[in-house]
A and B are shown apart, each in its own frame.
Chain A
């Protein structure tokens, strides 16, 4: 263990922007582009924290057939955006697995809302994610990450497939693009304001 990592001045929260830290979750299934989206709008290089979680053992992992609990490490990627002198916004990429209950409780507590990132080619993978968001009572918007070459799906069909409420916003975005990701986030915040 040597010295601490040396950080640039801009790695620190701007003086004054230390009144209120708020968070928005960026949620979605594995490899849907959560970290890419966070990275495209974060003012710091996205960071990752690891937390050790207890989960019910998967039968396939259990060679001796003994039921029990295993621990696993969950990584959460996050970024930061200084909004004003009073507000600093953190964006947490949260994996959509139901079994990390403890993590979800931590994450959902105090969150302003959630941006659900959806891959139009793997819609079914988003069902459990949306179930979780609704279970924790978070308001959300859907951002369809439009990958190169993927056919655009009709919004109506997508709403039907995901069983969305009429007022739940659906936007298409390119998670690699700053403006496009920011527009998706803006859509979410406008929706949260409507519901507040």
Chain B
């Protein structure tokens, strides 16, 4: 399958995931959930040459704004686990800013739900 952006997933299928991740393990679930929003850090002006091509392209993808971890996986066609490992390594290098989803307890459920309800009504009538 080729995405509408012409990004072909074949390299992900040909290269075993543990090669892309250099054998690293999954990061802590709380650090990078599906809904963690990620962007390249503004100070990220000089990039070490030792970033892998996959890390480089994730960084490029994240440079123009925030995306969720799930969206990054969707756009790159990498398996979710691989994306989380690569992002964790970029975080360690100080290349990324993340905003974890707010834990439900920290913002009243009612407040969120009311805002979602109003938003849906405003959008769809």
- Chain A positions within 8 Å of B, measured between CB atoms, are 1-7, 9, 11-13, 15, 18-23, 41, 44-45, 47-52, 73, 76, 78, 80-81, 83-84, 86-90, 92, 106, 109-110, 112, 178-179, 182-183, 185-186, 189-190, 192-193, 196
Q: Would you call the interface of chain B mostly helix, strand, loop, or mixed?
A: helix
Contact of B43 with A by CB under 8 A: no
- Pick from B61, B109, B116: contact of A83, CB under 8 Å: B116
A189 touches B113 (CB 8 A): yes
Q: Closest residue of chain A to B112, judged by CB?
A: A22
Contact of B42 with A by CB under 8 A: no
Report the bound CA distance from A196 to B75 in whole Å: 35
| Number of chain B interface residues as a range | 35 or more
The interface centre, meaning the residue of B11, B70, B110, B125 with most chain A CB atoms within 10 A of its CB, is B70
Q: Which residues of A contact B109 (CB under 8 A)?
A: 112, 192, 196
Q: Which residues of B contact A179 (CB under 8 A)?
A: 124-125
Report the bound CA distance from A20 to B111 in whole Å: 12
Q: Which residues of B contact A11 (CB under 8 A)?
A: 67, 71, 75
Q: Which residues of A contact B101 (CB under 8 A)?
A: 20-22, 110
Q: Would you call the interface of chain A mostly helix, strand, loop, or mixed?
A: mixed
Report the bound CA distance from A109 to B123 in whole Å: 27
Contact of B3 with A by CB under 8 A: yes
